[in-house]
Each structure stands twice: as C-alpha cells, then as structure tokens.
Amino acid sequence: MGWGEVNRNGHLPLQVEDLRFRYRTRQEMALRGISFQAERGELILVAGASGCGKTTLMRCINGLIPRSYRGGELAGTIRLFGKDPASLPLAQISQMVGTVLQDPEKQIVGSYVLNEVAFGLENLGLPRQEILERVEWVLDYLGLSHLRDRETFNLSGGEKQKVALAGVLAMQPDILLLDEPLASLDPVSSQEALALIRRLADEGKTVLLIEHRVEDLLKARPDKALFLSEGEQRYFGDMPGFLDIADYREVKLPAPMVLEQARERQEDLPPLPPPAPDDGRPPLVEFDHVSFGYEPEQPVLHDVSLTIRQGDIIALLGPNGAGKTTLVKQAIGLLKPQEGTVRVQGQDTRRMSTAQVARTLGYVFQSPTHMLFAPTVREELAFGPRNLRFDEQTVRANVERAMDILNLRGLEEYPPLALSFGQQKRVTIAAVLAMQSRILAMDEPTAGQDYRNYTNFMNSILALRTEREDLFSAILFITHDLDLAVGYANRVILMAEGRIAADGPPEQVLADRALLQRCRIVPTSLLDLNLKLLPRAGRFHRAEALASLV
C-alpha cells in the first residue's frame, strides 16, 4: 500500500501572500506580512523565538483560523493547490493538510492506539477494510505495530507523539505541518523521526516543521527556512543564508556557531551551578527498592533506590518509556509504589496527601494542559500559594516574582490555555515557583522554549537558590535535551528499562559513550566540545562560557 494519488493540478501545494492575523483577545498582531511558497517534496524549517507566530501560521494554513479561532482579523492570501482553504470544508482540508500538534495530549482522542489511528478515516466514512489496511500499513511504516493494542493513556510522551503522527499519515495528506515534533522524543527517536520526515519529503510530501532545535534539524537536511520574529518574517530562503542571520538566543544552534557569536558579543555570563555537595546532607526524597507497574504484566520501575539531597541539581535522562515520569510521580504521591518505599522528608508518601507532598516538592507536568485551568495567568499563579494558605501579601509577592522570572509580563490577564505552548510551559513553571516548594521538579522544561527563555528562567531559578535558602533546596528536571544537562546539572541520573543505569557528576556519567548509546542518548556538539576542553575547564560549561577557552 502507498500514499495514494498526489494532487497534480499544476498548482503549488502551498502559497502564502501578505498574511496578517490578530486574535480577538489581543491588541497586537500575531502575524504581519508573511509571504512564502512551498513546493512538492520540500522540507521547510519554520523557526523563531517562543510566541513569534509559528503556531498561528500553522492554524491559518490548516483552517483552524478562522474556524476555531473566531472573531480575529485575518487578511492576505493562502492557497492550497490553488484553492482558498476558507472556502473548503475541514474534511477536505484534512485530506490535503495533516497537522501534528506540539502537545499530543490535545490530539489523541482514542482509548487504544488502533482506534486513534483509525479515527480520522472513520470520520471520512471509508470502508472498514480500507481503514484497517491503512492503519496496519501506517503502523508498520512508522515501526509502531507493537503498540497497536496499547491504551493511549499509558503511552509515554514520545510514544503519544508517534501515534499522533500515525493518525495524520493514515489520512494521506499532501502537506504535513509538524509543530515541535521532537519535543517529547529521546535523542535516538529524534534521529529516527528526522530520517522519517526527510523520507516523507523525498517521497513527495510538502513538510513544514516548527522547531527551536536547529542543530538537530540540520540532520534532516531542510531545503529552506522561514524565520519569524514577533509576528514578522525576517527570512525565507536556503539554509546557509538562514544560518548566517540566525541568533543563538532565539534558536538552538551548533556549539561552534554559538562560540563564534558569543565571542563577538562578549556578554557577561551568570555563574555556573555549584557542584553537588557531599553525601552527608540530610535526604529530602528517598527511593528504597521501589517497583511499580501500571499493569501487573508490564512493570515500569524495577527495584529503584536513590536519594535526593539538598544542593542537588539533577538531570534525569533516558529513552522514551524508561520510567522517568513514573519515577517522579512516585515522589509527588500521584502514584504509590507496589513494592518498596518512597519517603519525602522522612515521611512515607503512602501516608501523605498530594497537597502535603506539594509543600516539599512542586511538579511541572510535561503537558501544560494537565495543570492549567484558571481564567487568567495571574489567577493561575495565585491558586497554589492560596491553596497552601499563604497570606495575601506573600501570594502577591510570589506571583509578581514568578512572572518576572518566567518572562510573563504583559500576559497577566490572558487566559493561559489561549497562549502558545511555550508560553503555557512557562506559566506552569511559574505556578510552581509561586508555591515556594523546597524541591522543583520539571518534566521537559525546555519543550517549546527558545534558547533565550529557557536559559533566562534556569539562570533565575539558580540565582534564587543562592539568594533564598528556603527556596529550591534541590532541582530535578526530566529532559531529552542533553545540553540542558551539560549546562545546568551537577548530577546526572540515566534510566533504562525502568532501572537506574548510572548516577553521578555529569563529567563522569556523560563521558561513557557505550552507556549513552545504551540509554539512547546521542552526543551533541556541546558535549563533544566540553569533553575536549575538560582538562582545561575542569567542569562542564554552556557554550557561551567556553568562548573564552577556545
């Protein structure tokens, strides 16, 4: 089975001319004067800082604007194979344009993988046999046949991302819009996804791919780049031209390019995170031979023992499905161990409520929609401290500080769920900051974040630890972003198949190439540069800080 007939009516798959849009709830324009075109078989990188208009552009192309986002101001021209999408029913657009959202939680509706992949085909009213043939074919095409009968609820974030893509590809669209498709994937899965995306373009699909991590995207050999800044088009053209004007503070570039730009700017750098203190410190969280499984025949954690102590800044790395998120959910009391014990400040989590645990450990979910519910950003940030019975003066002070740290000024009265994914992510982190938890645990904190935003909030969080002894005695972040671990962690824990594969200083753990391969971690240019300069530098540094050593 193949892709089916590609529309060959002589028109370009996509043409955009002087596109402008403003959301009904905002004063500023989300897009201004966007003009470009995409040909059959092209892979186009859409890059820019968080909130620059990338996702809004996708919504205009796939017809969600103006249908689902009504009351805004839309002007300019979009043509899909010569046709105005505003005049087409969504069912017809869905067969021309397939969209994989940044947050797969917003896209998956089926209880089981088979049902999810078949959902769109069923809505088209296709015969049952054709539906099954397409589903089986696309699962095999993506290497997901082993997930066919799994419940979608129990899939890892990376697995959900792949299933969402399967559901879109089953519709056999000519144009693919991929919004941060690597955000939830481990490094090896990212490489596999990029190879697949390149293959789809080579087979005739027109692919627009939103991604901050330009260094990773270079492996897919994009044909062109569209660079947006504050809703305006700064560049459209070939990749060499884009790399000449790209700013490492807005998109993630290879370490050598960051070094070159940093040397020219000579900016002051914030201090590095302190090394982890010795193990004589009192424990904050203890895992004592913990085992757990969502289903008896499918254990997720196997005999895990570890201790989180004051001063730890831990990067938790490992492949999709290794049990990283499950491990942290044990610590915050959302899950209880089936064997072994989890203790938070000496108390067994089986005897603690989630609210009691939250005073010690604040958790930022991987998917912002699991946390956000308030009508405004300000109320969202105030909810946690009020629930913990802080006085109103403290609540206001905490909210104001959290908004400053996470760059949320100007968004105070916006509905959180109306923000971009990257902005929603910052709101969830700010909500935990406002609660003054002793341990800050973040699941994929850099997903959807441009380099400037995530370095700013990480720098601010580390600075808070220095200024206030009562804030963030320890920090833990689950991440697939190896460079985040290199630049900010003083301790790295590697997980594989529900077990702790390694635990120690980054300079030791990340130097073991065989171990990294086993845990599906692909070395980056920043790691390679740090290992090369380690005898001179003494420890790992962010790329900007290495500029003075090269």
Residues 186-245 have pLDDT tens digits of 888 888 888 889 999 999 999 999 988 888 889 899 999 999 999 999 999 999 999 999
Spatial CA neighbour of 427 closest among 475, 478, 364: 364
Per domain, the residue ranges of the chain are 14-246, 283-505
Give the Cα separation of 314 and 133 in Å (integer). Answer: 45
Strands lying side by side in the sheet with 313-317: 361-364, 439-443, 474-478, 313-317, 491-496, 499-504
Residues 145-173 have pLDDT tens digits of 999 999 998 887 778 888 998 999 998 89
CA distance between the termini of the chain = 53
Amino acid found at 2 = G
Spatial CA neighbour of 540 closest among 527, 523, 521: 527
Spatial CA neighbour of 222 closest among 346, 41, 369: 41
Q: List C-alpha distances in Å: 384 to 235, 372, 457.
A: 42, 11, 19
Same fold, 14-246 and 283-505: yes
Residues 441-453 have pLDDT tens digits of 988 888 777 788 7
Q: Give yes or no for residue 527 having a pLDDT over 70.
A: yes
From the CB of residue 426, how many other CB atoms can be counted at a distance below 10 Å?
A: 31
Coil, strand, or helix at residue 35? Answer: strand
Q: Which residue has the tokens 């070939």?
A: 238
Read off the pLDDT band of 268 (50, 70, 90): low
Amino acid found at 528 = D
Residue 24 CA, distance from chain mean position: 27
Q: For the residues 519-542, what does the mean pLDDT come to? A: 91
Spatial CA neighbour of 76 closest among 32, 44, 46: 32
Sign for the CA dihedral angle at 317, 490, 359, 463 comes to negative
Tell me whether strands 73-80 and 14-22 are parallel, antiparallel or unpaired: antiparallel
- The CATH class of 283-505 is alpha beta
Q: Which residue has the tokens 């305006």?
A: 232
Specify the CATH superfamily of domain 14-246: P-loop containing nucleotide triphosphate hydrolases (3.40.50.300)
Q: List C-alpha distances in Å: 341 to 108, 267, 303, 337, 473.
A: 34, 47, 10, 6, 22
pLDDT of residue 273: 67
SS3 letters across 80-99: ECCECHHHCCHHHHHHHEEE
